[in-house]
Amino acid sequence: MENVEPGLIQQRMFEDARTYVRNSGEFQTAQVLAKLFSLDLDDFQARLESWKSRGEIFSIEDGDSGELFPAFAFDQTRGPSPHEAMSQILKFLANIGSKWAIASWFIGLNSYLDDQCPKDLLWEDPDWVIEAARDEMIECHHG
């Protein structure tokens, strides 16, 4: 078996996770979301910045695509505001790594959630997703 430096393995895992997030379709630009909600782009971008500064939403930077937001955090039927549980979840996930790691956590299978994705349960059972985020924080603190 070929010896591979641990740093290269981590780098490959990170790139694989970024590709998975990019290809998921779960993260969209402000322009796409504003159009989805039939909102003025400038007004919606101002809202996004305000929500980000208060820790109610997060975004990832993706080179040519620019800043991407988690589309699953918004409910078209309830208006263009992030789910109220997002701020609690993001507080628990603050120390798991980059915004890309947070994005991966939301769209990846989670054993605490019976191998379901947190994004899929956010609107159905937000308390369970909050508990999964708390569990993730505890795991990160204990290694």
Compute CA distances 48 → 2, 12, 18, 95, 129, whole Å: 47, 31, 22, 22, 22
Question: Which of 59, 58, 112, 120 has its CA nearest to residue 89?
Answer: 58
9 vs 105 pLDDT, higher one: 105
- Residue 1 included in any domain: no
Give the mean pLDDT of the chain: 89
Residue 13: the pLDDT is 75
What average pLDDT does this structure show over 11-33?
86
- pLDDT of 85 higher than 80: yes
Q: How confident is the model at residue 19 (pLDDT cuts 50, 70, 90)?
A: confident
- Residue 124 included in any domain: yes
Give me the percent of the chain exceeding a pLDDT of 70.
93
- Rounded Cα distance between 122 and 74, Å, is 10
Domain count of the fold of the chain: 1
Q: For residue 97, what is the DSSP state? A: S
Residue 137: the pLDDT is 86
- Residue 76 included in any domain: yes
> What global pTM score does this model have?
0.87
- Residue 136 included in any domain: yes
Domain limits for position 90: 6-142
